[in-house]
Structure formats: C-alpha cells, structure tokens
Amino acid sequence: MFSQTVEYALRTVVHLADQSPSPRTTDQIATATLVPKAYLSKVIQGLCRANILQSKRGIGGGIALVKSPSKLTILEVVNAVEPIARIRECPLGLKTHGVRLCPLHKRMDNALAMVEAVFRETTLAEVLAEPTHSHPLCELPTRKKSR
C-alpha cells in the first residue's frame, strides 16, 4: 500500500526524532535506516522542501527535524513525499458515477480515510514512546571482526 519512498521517509524522520535535537549526516542516517544513500538524498530533499527537515552545512551541521517529534505527525511525512490519494470521483471515469462512488470504490476510499485519520493522530514522539520489544528502526549492521 505504501511505496518505498514513503517507507524511507518514515525511517528517516523516526531516526532523526530518536536522535533529536542532534543533527545527523546523510551517511549516519543511511547506516541507521538501511536506506541507500543516493535514494536517501532524494528523500531528504523532498522532506526539506516540505519544511519537515532542515539541512545545514559545516561544523555542527547536518540534517535535523524542523518541528519537535511531539508536533510532527506521520501524515505530514507521508503527504510530503507521496500524498494519500483519496478517491473523490469514479476512477474509471464513468459519467454515470461521477462523484457518487460505487460500493467498491466507496469502501476503498473509506479505508484510505481511516489510514489518513490514524496517521493524522500519530506523532513521531508517540511512535518512539510506545512500549515494545522492537525498536521502530532496523537493527544496525554488525561489523565483521578483522583478523
């Protein structure tokens, strides 16, 4: 249901929220999230354009969240890279349906509405604070011991 771009954007902001307020380099984010660096750069650019992330060069610079994790919702992140496409009119272009969706497309739109509502109500801080045995990101790769 969600693209790889959405997955990578969410991994990125969750990692930055976990490290907040310390900025991270692209290399650090790529390593922690297992996102290919070239793809990550494009994701970060989109999140910066949407004013979710900021990028500063130089000493003490890096990538950081613009908002506090308690104010940034999952929906904002998703919509920044690939907005949830609600079904507002017949996707088949049937003139007899128009904005009166058939039962199938109405149910599909209802499902999208539920996802949108849950994401709108969920902040990054909540994701990180939820008690679990699994950290919301990937395990860091283990380094091979040199002989």
Architecture of the domain made up of 4-129 = Orthogonal Bundle (1.10)
Q: What are the tokens at 27?
A: 């290399």
pLDDT in tens, 41-76: 999 999 999 999 999 888 878 999 999 999 999 999
Each domain of the chain, given as residue ranges in start order, spans 4-129
Q: The pTM is what?
A: 0.83
Q: Which of 120, 125, 119, 121 is nearest to 14 (CA)?
A: 125
Task: Show the DSSP H helices in 1-147 as ranges.
Answer: 4-19, 26-33, 37-49, 74-81, 103-121, 124-129
Res 133: pLDDT: 63
Residue 143 — very low, low, confident or very high, per pLDDT cuts 50/70/90? very low
pLDDT (tens digit per residue) in 2-44: 899 999 999 999 999 988 788 999 999 999 999 999 999 999 9
pLDDT at residue 13, rounded to an integer:
96
